[in-house]
Structure formats: C-alpha cells, structure tokens
Amino acid sequence: MAGLHETGWAKINLALHIRARRVDGYHEIETLFAFVDGGDAIEAKEATADRLTIDGEFAEGLGSGADNLVLRVLVLLRERYGAARVPPLAIRLTKRLPVAAGIGGGSADAAAMARLVRDAFLPEVGDATLARLAGALGADIAACVASRTCLGVGVGEQLSEVPELRLGGTPVLLVNPRQPVATGPVFAAWDGVDRGPLFTGADLRAQLFASRNDLQRPAVAQCPAIVDVLTELGALKPWLARMSGSGATCFALFDAPAERDAAAAVLAERHPDWWQMTGALR
C-alpha cells in the first residue's frame, strides 16, 4: 500500500484553570484547547512487524520501544479491532516540536497515529470513539484527536465545543527557550488555591483576557526563562500572550500574519537560541 501520513498538531492551552487536587493525584481543570497548523510528522507503511524510528530536531533521547505512545496507541487499536484489520506498521516519527514543552507533543503524536490507523483501516470509527479509546493513554490525547478548539474539563478529557471561539486562522507565534519543563513537578507545586472558573462571556477577547494559566507560577519556579519569553512577546504587541500548559512554551496571538512574522523576526535576531514556530490556529 502507499505510505500513510499524519501530523501531530501542536496544542496550546489558551487558558488553564486548576480547580482542585484529586485524591488520585490528578487535578480537576478547566482549559481551552487550541491547535496550531504545524507539528510533528508521522509516516507509516505496512511491514512484517511493528517498528518505530524517530528523527528530527528533537529526536535525541526519545525511546522508540513499546512504551512510546505512538506504538502504544497502535497496539491498543489492534487489540480492540483485531490483527486482521490493523496490520504491523513501520513508522517514522519526525520530531519538530520540543519535548516537555507544554504543547502536547507526545499526546499529539499518539492522536496522529490513532487518526492514521483509523483513516487507513478503521474508517467507520468516529472521532468521539477514537478519542475515548486513545484518551485512555493520556488526558490530552482525547483533545488532540480532533485537534480543534474545545473546552476540556475533568482532567481535560471531558470535551465540548465552544463555537463562540471563532479562532480559526488566527496568526500565532510559539516560542520556547529550549529548556524542558517536567509536567508532574509543576502540577505538584500548584499552591492548591482555586482562583475561580473560566470566564464565559460574549466578547471573545474579554473572555480570554479574564482567564489565566494557573501553572505559570510553579513553571517559572522551575524555568525562570519563561518570564523572559513572556516579557519579550508582550513587548511585540500581540493581543494575547501566555504560557501554554505546564511550560515552557509560550504563545502570542496576532491580528495579522505580517505582525506575527515581524515579531518572529525580531525574536530570532534577539534570541537566536530560542525555538520558535509561526503558524495559524486550526
């Protein structure tokens, strides 16, 4: 068969409110997920046995064994629908997104693999079913299956549409200081204060301005460079700049692609060591 292709679209959290710490160690959250039109690349073709190779700028240190989420979601779908329908695959993952960066790289890759398998071999499986199955491997994976703007509650796996957030095509700039931030310790360092629910209102920008990322303070404690990134982004006059997820990636939303590109050029000159990606929200 011809080669199969998918993209693990970069995820950002437009807002992330932590409401409570659960007895199981997870956290009750309210978050607005959005997705950028760029990310990691997955290619696959039928083979005699499953195998995964990883290349790209951020491949170093990533394991390609059975515990990789890309292979785990493949095995999960095979176990659910049968080996006769989901054959062994040789997979190539090209890592373009930084790791431990708050933009869902591993979850996005798992979701991309799930979509690839579904589209090639299980066309009757809808997004909701695929999200439920793949989401068992990680809270963010469910949102990454559709990779569309949505509200996530619970631990982020309970999803609903937010049609009033018409953000498709919004120019976005992602910036990371090339410092990994471990998600677990950031969540663990949350101070336990419930600062209230996501604001919901008719005005899109007011809604986003009134929201926040409750993980920013503990993330900055682990990675002070986040403050530098946000300061630089804010000076470039986006209409919103915020840290995504548990950090350290920050994003800036602009009104026009030219404004985004000018900001990217300025940052590239001032901080050539920082990673950045330009794109638009899906």
Domain shared by 131 and 220, yes or no: no
Q: How many domains does the chain have?
A: 2
Domain holding 77, by residue range, is: 4-161
Chain mean pLDDT for the chain:
96
CA distance 232 to 86: 47
Domain shared by 267 and 224, yes or no: yes
Residue where a domain stops, chosen among 161, 192, 222: 161
Which ranges of the chain have pLDDT less than 70?
A: 1-2, 200-202
Domain shared by 156 and 196, yes or no: no
- The CATH number assigned to the domain holding 196 equals 3.30.70.890
Where are the strands (E) in 82-169, listed by range?
Answer: 89-94, 150-154, 158-161
Q: Is 166 a member of any domain?
A: no
What is the pLDDT, as a whole number, of residue 205?
Answer: 83
CA distance 118 to 57: 28
Domain shared by 246 and 270, yes or no: yes
The pair of three-digit structure tokens given for residue 80, joined into one six-digit string: 């659910």
The β-bridge relationship of strands 89-94 and 51-55 is parallel
Neighbour count for residue 3 (Cβ, 10 Å): 10
Domain shared by 116 and 235, yes or no: no
Domain shared by 147 and 9, yes or no: yes
Contacts of 202 (CB under 8 A, 6+ apart): 164
What is the pLDDT, as a whole number, of residue 239?
Answer: 96
The pair of three-digit structure tokens given for residue 276, joined into one six-digit string: 């950045």
Domain shared by 209 and 176, yes or no: yes
Residue where a domain stops, chosen among 143, 161, 179: 161
What is the pLDDT, as a whole number, of residue 184?
Answer: 94
Contacts of 132 (CB under 8 A, 6+ apart): 142
The pair of three-digit structure tokens given for residue 60, joined into one six-digit string: 């170093």
Domain shared by 19 and 142, yes or no: yes
Domain shared by 107 and 10, yes or no: yes
What is the pLDDT, as a whole number, of residue 165?
Answer: 83
CA distance 250 to 230: 7
What is the pLDDT, as a whole number, of residue 2?
Answer: 62
Read off the pLDDT of residues 132-172 as tens digits, 9 standing for 90 and up. Answer: 999 999 989 999 999 999 999 999 999 999 888 889 999 99
Domain shared by 138 and 176, yes or no: no
Positions marked catalytic: 11, 140
Read off the pLDDT of residues 57-93 as tens digits, 9 standing for 90 and up. Answer: 999 999 999 999 999 999 999 999 999 999 999 999 9
State phi, psi for 278 to the nearest 5 degrees.
-100, 150
Residue where a domain stops, chosen among 109, 138, 161: 161
Q: Is the pTM of this model over 0.85?
A: yes
Helical pair 105-121 and 127-134, crossing angle rounded to 10 deg: 130
The pair of three-digit structure tokens given for residue 46, joined into one six-digit string: 């039928």
Instruction: Please choose, from the candidates 239, 197, 247, 244, the residue with its C-alpha nearest in 3D space to the C-alpha of residue 218.
Output: 247
What is the pLDDT, as a whole number, of residue 17?
Answer: 98
Domain shared by 187 and 142, yes or no: no
What is the pLDDT, as a whole number, of residue 200?
Answer: 67
Neighbour count for residue 161 (Cβ, 10 Å): 11
- The CATH number assigned to the domain holding 134 equals 3.30.230.10
Q: Cα 220 vs. chain centroid, distance in angstroms? A: 19
